[in-house]
Amino acid sequence: MVVSPEGHSGSRHSTPSLSEVLSIKDGDSDSLAGGGNGAAALPRAQAHQRPEPGVGDFPLIAIVGPTAAGKSALALALAERLDGEIVNYDSVQLYRGFDVGSGKLAPAERHGIAHHLLDCLEPSQVFTAGDYRREARKVLADLRARGKLPIFAGGTGLYLRALFLGLFEGPARSEDLRERLRAMAARHGREFLHRLLARLDAPAAVRIQPRDTQKLIRALEVCILARQPLSTLHARGRAGLGGFRVIKIGLNPPRAQLYDRINRRVESMFAAGLWDEARAMFSRPDAERIKALGALGYRQACAALEGKMRRGEALGATQIATRHYAKRQMTWFRREADITWFEGFGDDPHVQRRIMETLSRRLVAAEGTVLAPSEVSPAPRFSRQGNF
């Protein structure tokens, strides 16, 4: 049975060609989203293999774990002892003006250690995981040339995955095309975009929910600009990070203690200037395009500024949302391979000493090469003992 744009069974329509989609106008969009008998025939691509790390690859340390686990403190301690520099992988700390609410260390708190990919974007600037991969690779090339150990600290696991495992080679964003697709969604509904995607890339349409406008627009954008289905590009495989041996250190603090830290940290952020940061960004003429205003703390503060909740409610809502976020982070990182987990907080000297002992068995300080990796501990889980 074929479903028409109105949601009822109807007659079959021919699948739109790529040239038709490329030339779509809002007035022509009804016919393009009509029923069809399969995705548009777009060329397929050959798969390629990911590069395997070599024994002599340059070492790279990545610190992972939930928010408020002390990743920044641990990164500073390791950088001081191992002649390293810190690379941020937190999506909010990239932006200028988002300091207190993102947990960004003030310059005086960085102990003279160079930090990269901090304060490098304007508030309304668009920055994707692909952009992060590109910029982080530039930083890595510089650190390697200077013989500095890269130490990654942050909380956006997608950025690390994009850097280490790679992304499919898709086309750059087209704001013009995106505006046209948004106009279609506004006129005909989000489900309209899903029907259009089903004509061009049926496998992608199965994976993406009909009401997920952001993913639908990106999938259609790729199909149109690359002249290939998104699913075909994904099937090519991804080129991972070559020339580096990644050592992943995971922090797994006791759950009750972590939640207490989160609550106190949120209180201190609101008292130390988060309100002022949110107000300054919210009052900008381009506020609607500032994605970081949707981040934890800023989202709740803006709701209070709009009169949707009281200040005290905003603080409490941020505490709850941050605790939930910490749990989601651990769920994400548990799925990542080759993480050596340590119970406790990263600012605990005893934890730091255990981590240094582990790293000393894996790093050869003379030339910065890596020995055979030590045995990796299993990923932690939520337990009755209170750990993640």
CATH number assigned to the domain comprising residue 224? 1.10.20.140
Which class for 157: exposed (0-12), middle (13-18), buried (19 or more C-beta within 10 A)?
Answer: middle
Residue 28 counted as domain residue: no
For residue 185, tell me if it sits in a domain: yes
Question: Does residue 343 share a domain with residue 302?
Answer: yes
149 assigned to some structural domain: yes
Cα–Cα distance for residue pair 75/116, rounded to 1 Å:
13
Sign of CA dihedral 159, 165, 166, 167: negative
At residue 214, the pLDDT reads: 86
Q: Which two tokens stand for residue 36?
A: 């069809």
Instruction: Please say which residue of 237, 258, 285 terminates a domain.
Output: 237
The reported pLDDT for the residue numbered 22 is 45
For position 107, what pLDDT does the model report? 95
Phi/psi of residue 41, each to 5°? -80, 100
Number of domains comprising the chain: 2
Query: 311 is written with which tokens?
Result: 């200040």
Q: Which residue, 249, 225, 233, is CA-closest to 60?
A: 249
Are both 224 and 130 inside the same structural domain?
no
pTM assigned to the model: 0.73
Give me the pLDDT at residue 56, please. 54
Whichever domain contains 137, its CATH number is: 3.40.50.300
What domain range includes position 215? 169-237
Task: Say if residues 85 and 151 touch (Cβ distance below 8 Å).
Answer: yes
Tell me, what's the pLDDT at 116? 98
Calpha distance 343→70 (Å, rounded): 12
Question: In a structure prediction context, what are the per-residue pLDDT tens digits for the chain, which is 388 residues long?
Answer: 333 333 333 333 333 444 444 455 444 444 444 444 333 333 333 333 334 444 458 999 999 999 999 999 999 999 999 999 999 999 999 999 999 999 999 999 999 999 999 999 999 999 989 899 999 999 999 999 999 999 999 999 999 999 999 887 678 788 899 999 999 999 998 899 999 999 999 999 999 989 888 889 999 999 999 888 888 887 776 778 999 999 999 999 999 999 999 999 999 999 999 999 999 999 999 999 999 999 999 999 999 999 999 999 999 999 999 999 999 999 999 988 899 999 999 999 999 999 999 998 887 543 444 433 333 445 554 343 456 5
User: What pLDDT score was predicted for residue 366?
Assistant: 35
Tokens of 122: 């304007």
Same domain, 203 and 280: no
Rounded-to-integer distance, Cα 23 and Cα 99, Å:
44
Per-residue DSSP letter, 41: -
Residue 251's DSSP bridge partners are 342
